[in-house]
Amino acid sequence: METATIRIFLAHGDPKRLRTAELSNWTGKAVAGPRSEFEDVLAREESERSGVYLLTGTDPESGNPAIYIGEAENIRSRIKSHVEKDFWNQAIYFVSKDENLTKSHIRYLEGRLIEHARAAGRAVVTNGQSSGAKLPESDREDMEVFLEKINQLLPVLGVDLLVPAAGGAFGPVAKAVLVCEIKSHKARGYRIPNGFLVLKGSEAVAHERASSEKWPWPCKMRQALKAEGSLIAEGDRLVFAKDVEFASPSAAAAVVHGGHANGLTAWKTTDGKTLKELESA
């Protein structure tokens, strides 16, 4: 993505409450706020325009993050129709300041945002079906630019559910892959803006260490990854079925080792230099 200057307005001085966001040299605008300020978020004149919106919260069945993505020619009336949905606790909508978004434009953006959310795999996408619209080539390119700006603003507004784990917030990470080895099992990964990414195909020990009884959090992480199908048993090992993001190198190493581990020394380059040494250089 290109560099950008973002202007955020905090209507009440609180970054968790009603806020707007704009990018320099962009005709779009974002409005975001918590469900507890539902009326204030929809009282703004921007909500009377056409655009796309996202409702985020927690899926009541799985406890995982959840998201609903929609489009409307009148944002206010459409979001009001979602009050029966209990899962969401934040609303964000995007409109055009020059009011040039047509019905086809917003249907196209809705479909692309749903694609991004499903591809990222960070949240339960509660939309019943995909959307989208065919556009002339020039309009499609304009909407792809608009979509890129939306994706730049969403993490700044506290929503990273559309960001692919492997790409971090700003696209693919061009860094050397590190290795974590234990009992002939090898895992591969690297630092990302949100923490540490372990790559698909990486291996972990099949059984937890005895010390996990005293410090059970690695065991709980492994159980959660098994339950969601991210970590599967193959013979005498566990294998990562997809790229998995962790909050830190130590959390990633602990899952690989089956118990507490120092990620700064467990993750190394192929020539044996530890992550700690790399970051201290």
- Identify the pLDDT of residue 168: 44
Distance CA 231, CA 242 (A): 8
Q: How far, in Å, CA of 22 to CA of 109, rounded?
A: 18
Separation between Cα atoms, residue 76 and residue 227, nearest integer Å: 39
- What is the distance between the alpha carbons of residues 223 and 272, in angstroms, rounded to a whole number? 30
Provide Rg for the chain, Cα atoms.
Answer: 21
Average pLDDT (210-239) is 89
Please compute the mean of the pLDDT values over residues 216-230 and round it to a whole number: 90
pLDDT at 267: 96
Asked if 235 and 225 touch (Cβ cutoff 8 Å), the reply is no
Average pLDDT, the chain: 91
Instruction: Provide the sign of the torsion angle of the four alpha carbons 156, 158, 159, 164, taken in this order.
Output: positive
E strand intervals along the chain: 6-10, 19-23, 28-34, 51-58, 65-72, 88-96, 124-125, 178-182, 185-192, 195-198, 203-205, 231-234, 237-240, 244-246
Rounded CA-CA distance 21/6 in Å is 7
pLDDT in tens, 99-137: 889 999 999 999 999 999 998 888 999 998 777 788 999
β-bridge partners, 54:
69, 92
- What are the φ/ψ torsions at residue 150 (nearest 5 degrees)? -60, -45
pLDDT of residue 169: 40
pLDDT digits (tens, 9 = 90+) for 29-64: 999 999 999 999 999 999 999 999 999 999 988 888
Binned at pLDDT 50, 70 and 90, residue 216 comes out as confident
Of all residues in the chain, what percent carry a pLDDT higher than 90? 74
